[in-house]
Amino acid sequence: MLPILYSFRRCPYAMRARWALLEAGLLVQWREIALKAKPAEMLAVSPKGTVPVLVLPDGEVIEESHAVMDWALNQADPRELLWSSDSDTSALIQQNDGPFKHHLDRFKYTDRYPGTNKDEQRNAGLTILKSWNQRIAEQGWLLGERISLADAAIWPFVRQWRIADPEGFDNDTALAPLRSWLTGFLEAPRFERLMQRADPWSAGGQQHHFPADAVAVPLDQPLFHLALKGDWQAAQTNGSYRISTRGMGLDQVGFIHCSWQEQVNATFERFYADAGDVLLLEIDAAAVDAPLRADAIPSGELFPHLYGALPLEAVRSVVTMPASA
């Protein structure tokens, strides 16, 4: 039984929750809502009436987006987004969810707040944006040299600011690092999946999963992974295998590429035929301890992905691939 996610496509709080579910390799029952006609089922479990709402199979209800992100990444955190301290992360997210969101709403929807001065709200919001911009200029990301939970939680709101003032945001030379940081999220393949569309949910209508272009991986079928011999030998020393695909690690890609048996030869010919010593790992899908999800590549073909390190004990057999598959 899958968790149930009530969501609204354009809401930045719901966006960051869905982003974390994508990152963690999870599948959920997806219930897109209409803000003017919220389903009674959602209001019954979360009377506050805001998204996201995640209902776990045991009935536990998670009503805050930050908590949904924490829950998802505690299931699997393949790129180790939770590396930063709780206090540093919380301080930035509170600044975003509090003062910045306050100024964003009043800048973007000034007519909803009588007596509000739009220029004052813009200037106050820009002050916060410039503080984030300075962090990114100095470190690459908000909290250091690599992505953290704070980056994932804040970028949808910076996107909202840009939507409110695209010309000002895009032409402000002082925001160049922040702009590049945001572009990285918007141009990543994950963004298109994040923003998939669905009609508002009803109990008698079509029942969607999120992500819509993914399915669960059967645990009674073996999975296969092509590994360079040196990478597999290093894994024997390290205690687990953390290579996503040829030349790229789990921390870069976010999952380990796998194949079903009928996909192995084509994958070998396309990516590994000139790679030297290549091994074929047969994996017991039921023995891995991180989420498995089959995701669609651009052609539409589904490939199984492991959203975490591969335990050595989950590998049933290791054989050498022939020079020509």
User: pLDDT at position 276, please?
Assistant: 87
**Number of continuous H segments (helices) and E segments (strands) in the chain:** 13, 16
In a 13 Å sphere around the CA of 5, the CA atoms on its Cβ side amount to 33
The whole model's pTM is what? 0.95
Beta bridge partners of 214: 295
CA of 231: how far to CAs of 16, 28, 153, 319, in Å? Answer: 34, 33, 33, 14
As a whole number of angstroms, the distance between CA 312 and CA 71 comes to 26
Spatial separation of the C-alpha atoms in residues 182 and 176, rounded to whole Å? 10
In the chain, the percentage of residues whose pLDDT exceeds 70 is 99
Give the chain's mean pLDDT. 96
As a whole-number percent, the residues of the chain with pLDDT over 90 amount to 94
Dump pLDDT digits (tens) for 200-248: 999 999 999 999 999 999 999 999 999 999 999 999 999 999 999 999 9
Span 271-282, pLDDT tens digits: 999 988 999 999
Class of domain 81-189: mainly alpha
Question: 325: pLDDT confidence band, cut at 50, 70 and 90?
Answer: very low
Cα torsion 132, 255, 296, 294: sign:
negative
Is the preceding peptide bond at 311 cis, omega within 30 degrees of 0?
no
Average pLDDT score over residue span 319-325: 73
Residue 295 exposed, middle or buried by CB count within 10 Å (0-12, 13-18, 19+): buried
- What kind of architecture, by CATH, is found in domain 214-320? Alpha-Beta Barrel (3.20)
Is 292 a residue whose pLDDT tops 60? yes
Considering the segment(s) 4-79+190-210 as one domain, its CATH architecture is 3-Layer(aba) Sandwich (3.40)
**How high is the pLDDT of residue 324?**
47
pLDDT category at 323 given cuts 50, 70, 90 is low
* d(C-alpha 34, C-alpha 8), whole Å: 7
pLDDT higher than 50, residue 260: yes
Q: What is the domain partition of the chain in residue ranges? A: 4-79+190-210, 81-189, 214-320
pLDDT digits (tens, 9 = 90+) for 130-159: 999 999 999 999 999 999 999 999 999 999
